[in-house]
């Protein structure tokens, strides 16, 4: 075991603060990574504040962070895919049983025994796993991913969660050339969804509560922007969508979007607000519409997404911050004031 610097929260009401955490020494299949950048996902904030207490209660102290890129520092004796000096990435998963039907199907994100990057039981050290707001992490090589060499690392980090979470459902539901696709909420996930839907050739409509994001949405690849608080603008879109991705982090009326779907069309929820959403039966019945959810993506698909990003030169639009500004960044996330992902430069923690 060794120790590394981290930022952690001691309770749901505490700010994140500097701390030291243990990491295991690499076992034969492990890769030790010096973390260079870690994205800030709204899930980090939900977890730090224990907003998902009924589903996955937070164990304190919590070290969040699951959008990790860094450089390999050490490898175990049986590691074949990585060597010291390589750029490597880690997303939301650090372990799974590898034997269940979900794992065999390459859908490790649905494994009943999966280990999340933070706030999951840590089978090596006891306690819970600690995430990427730290200088170093040790991960089984099966859960380490490759970043295409043309991608800038600060903007590549968010691909590990915001990227795969939006890429996967759009692949699953067949977002392709010419389809009309809606993206609800232009935050970290939403702006990646716009980039992917545009790259897949879809006609992309962004729904936002922030009129000041209109120009950005068009620049990111949207064909049209609707301010969702404008009832007339919403009405014009009724029944016209083949697919809608909802990436909103807070309570909102999902029925307003169900009514925009055409026949046999789907709305996939990736946003995970703390409270249950009310769904009107008629929004589903009329038009035989469906509502589903999606959780990040498996390892193979995450690598496929990273390679797709390499081929199309796609990264997140990031505001790089030092770790010392993380609490301020959380407050800005709550105000929908992020353009469009915070990426923490971990050198700022090293030098603290
Ligand atoms: P984010 O960057 O904070 O973006 C959320 C966006 O939602 C905001 O920018 C805003 O967009 C919109 N929004 C916020 N409050 C709203 C309200 N009251 N009514 C309507 N719209 C509102 O968050 P994120 O990191 O993209 O994450 C989004 C959600 O996805 C979170 O709940 C997160 O936990 C969840 N998530 C799920 C998965 C998964 O696997 N399913 C993975 C990662 C994250 P506008 O300003 O454009 O309205
Ligand atoms: Zn995330």
Does residue 222 line the site of ligand 1, with CB under 6 A? no
**Quick one: tokens of 132?**
């990427």
CA separation for the pair 323, 327 (Å, rounded) = 9
How far apart are the CA of 4 and the centre of ligand 2, in A? 22
With a 6 A CB cut-off, is 336 part of the ligand 1 pocket? Answer: yes
Q: Is the pLDDT assigned to residue 352 strictly greater than 90?
A: no
Please give the number of the atom of ligand 1 that sits closest to the Cα of 273: 32
Say if residues 148 and 309 touch (Cβ distance below 8 Å). Answer: yes
CA of 270 to the centre of ligand 1 (A): 9
In the prediction, which pLDDT does 128 show?
98
pLDDT at 287 over 90: yes
Q: Determine if ligand 1 sits within 6 Å of the CB of residue 295.
A: yes
**What Å distances lie between residue 350 and 286, 299, 347, CA to CA?**
56, 29, 5
* % of the chain surpassing 70 pLDDT: 100
> Residues 146-174: pLDDT tens digits?
999 999 999 999 999 999 999 999 999 99
Cα 75 to Cα 144: distance, rounded to the nearest angstrom: 12
User: Residue 180: CB within 6 Å of ligand 1?
Assistant: no
DSSP 3-state assignment of 281? helix
Q: How far is CA 206 from CA 144, 226, 234, 279, 330, in A?
A: 33, 6, 11, 21, 23
Q: Which ligand is nearest to the CA of 43?
A: 1
Query: If you ran DSSP here, which 8-state letter would residue 157 be given?
Result: G
Q: What is the signed CA dihedral for 268, 271, 277, 283, rounded to 10 degrees? A: -20
Asked if residue 351 has pLDDT above 90, the reply is: no
Contacts of 37 (CB under 8 A, 6+ apart): 68, 69, 70, 153, 154, 156, 157, 320, 343, 344, 345, 346
Ligand 2 centroid to residue 273 C-alpha, Å: 13
Place of tokens 């353009």: 339
Task: Say if CB 318 and CB 154 are below 8 A apart.
Answer: yes
pTM above 0.85, yes or no: yes
- Residue closest by Cα to atom 23 of ligand 1: 42
pLDDT (tens digit, 9 = 90+) per residue, 218-266?
A: 999 999 999 999 999 999 999 999 999 999 999 999 999 999 999 999 9
Does 16 sit in the ligand 1 pocket, CB within 6 Å?
Answer: no
Q: Which residues surround ligand 2, an ion (CB under 5 A)?
A: 41, 43, 161
CA 89 to chain centre: 13
Spatial distance between the Cα atoms of 215 and 288, rounded to a whole number of angstroms: 34
| Ligand 1 atom nearest to CA at 296 | 40
């Amino acid at each position: 075991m060794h120790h590394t610097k981290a930022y952690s929260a001691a309770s749901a009401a505490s700010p994140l603060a500097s701390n030291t955490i243990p990491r295991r020494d690499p076992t034969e299949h492990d890769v030790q990574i010096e973390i260079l950048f870690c994205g800030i996902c709204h899930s980090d904030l939900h977890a730090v504040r224990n907003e998902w207490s009924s589903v996955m209660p937070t164990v304190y102290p919590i070290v969040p962070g699951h959008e990790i890129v860094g450089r390999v520092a050490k490898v175990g004796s049986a590691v074949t895919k990585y060597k010291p000096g390589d750029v490597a990435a880690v997303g939301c998963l650090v372990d799974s049983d590898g034997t269940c039907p979900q794992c065999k199907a390459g859908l490790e994100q649905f494994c009943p025994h999966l280990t999340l990057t933070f706030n999951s039981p840590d089978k090596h050290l006891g306690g819970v796993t600690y995430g990427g707001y730290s200088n170093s992490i040790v991960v089984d090589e099966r859960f380490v991913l490759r970043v295409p060499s043309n991608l800038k690392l600060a903007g590549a980090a968010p691909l590990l969660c915001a990227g795969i979470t939006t890429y996967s459902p759009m692949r699953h539901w067949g977002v392709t050339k010419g389809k009309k696709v809606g993206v609800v909420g232009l935050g970290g996930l939403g702006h990646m969804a716009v980039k992917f839907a545009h790259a897949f050739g879809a006609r992309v409509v962004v729904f936002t509560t922030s009129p000041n994001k209109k120009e950005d949405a068009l620049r990111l690849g949207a064909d049209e922007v609707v301010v969702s608080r404008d009832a007339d603008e919403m009405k014009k879109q009724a029944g016209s969508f083949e697919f809608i991705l909802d990436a909103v982090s807070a309570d909102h009326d999902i029925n307003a979007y169900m009514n925009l779907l055409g026949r046999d069309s789907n709305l996939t929820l990736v946003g995970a607000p703390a409270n249950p959403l009310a769904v009107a039966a008629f929004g589903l019945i009329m038009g035989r519409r469906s509502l589903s959810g999606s959780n990040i993506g498996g390892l193979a698909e995450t690598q496929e997404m990273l390679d797709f990003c390499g081929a199309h030169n796609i990264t997140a639009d990031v505001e790089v911050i030092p770790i010392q500004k993380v609490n301020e960044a959380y407050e800005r996330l709550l105000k929908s004031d992020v353009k469009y992902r915070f990426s923490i430069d971990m050198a700022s923690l090293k030098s603290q």
